[in-house]
Amino acid sequence: MKISVWLFLIMGLGPLGCVHDPNEKGMEILPDMIHSVAYEAYSENPLTPDKKTMMLPVKGTVARGHMPYMYLKTPEDAIRSGIELVNSTQVNEKTLARGQSQYETYCLVCHGVTGQGDGPLIPKMPNPPSYTSKTFLTYPDGRIFNAITVGFGDMESYANQINEQDRWYIVNYIRTLQKKKVP
């Protein structure tokens, strides 16, 4: 047979061998691994000491990326956070731009474009303090970070929406707003 005929047969009939019904599971080589006897997350479990399938973390351990936060939403802890928490982020064009976009997404509605406490949600929300008020200017970075993390008074926590690094970037951005407004 001529080579072109062979080529025609290979190219033409080859794909037929690959036709596969996507709804068909195919051959199971190790069925025990495919159909493992897993327990449902909330089902009773005869193998664990407390008979629960979802086990609690071992005492004294911390899940990766879930360091416990040491401050509560109290005025005392707000002060303590200001003394103890250290801002170790770098301030540069890129991180400030990130801080600004996060601020404008989450804080502007109440605190306003320039941080004067005059955002579009006011007066539906109680008036937040101006970032350039005498008291606010004395707040260390840690206290502002803490307010975002656990909230303060009428303000709620933003820890679930804003990650730790972005919270510090917001703090840095608030500093630039304060500098703009201070006479």
Q: Which residues bind ligand HEC (CB under 6 A)?
A: 78, 106-107, 109-111, 121, 125-126, 128-129, 143-144, 147-148, 152-155, 158, 162, 170
Q: What are phi and psi of 44, to 5 degrees?
A: -70, 150
* Nearest-approach distance from CB 105 to ligand HEC, in angstroms: 8
* Nearest-approach distance from CB 182 to ligand HEC, in angstroms: 17
**What gap in Å lies between CA 91 and CA 51, rounded to an integer?**
51
Is the CB of 85 or the CB of 162 nearer to ligand HEC? 162
Closest CA to 87 of 163, 138, 143, 147: 143
* Nearest-approach distance from CB 86 to ligand HEC, in angstroms: 17
* Nearest-approach distance from CB 119 to ligand HEC, in angstroms: 7
Query: What tokens appear for 183 in the block?
Result: 């006479």
DSSP 68: P
Is the CB of 39 or the CB of 106 nearer to ligand HEC? 106
The residues, ordered by sequence, that sit 6+ positions from 148 with a Cβ below 8 Å of its Cβ are: 157, 158, 159, 162, 167, 170, 171
Query: What tokens appear for 17 in the block?
Result: 């061998």
Is the CB of 52 or the CB of 181 nearer to ligand HEC? 181
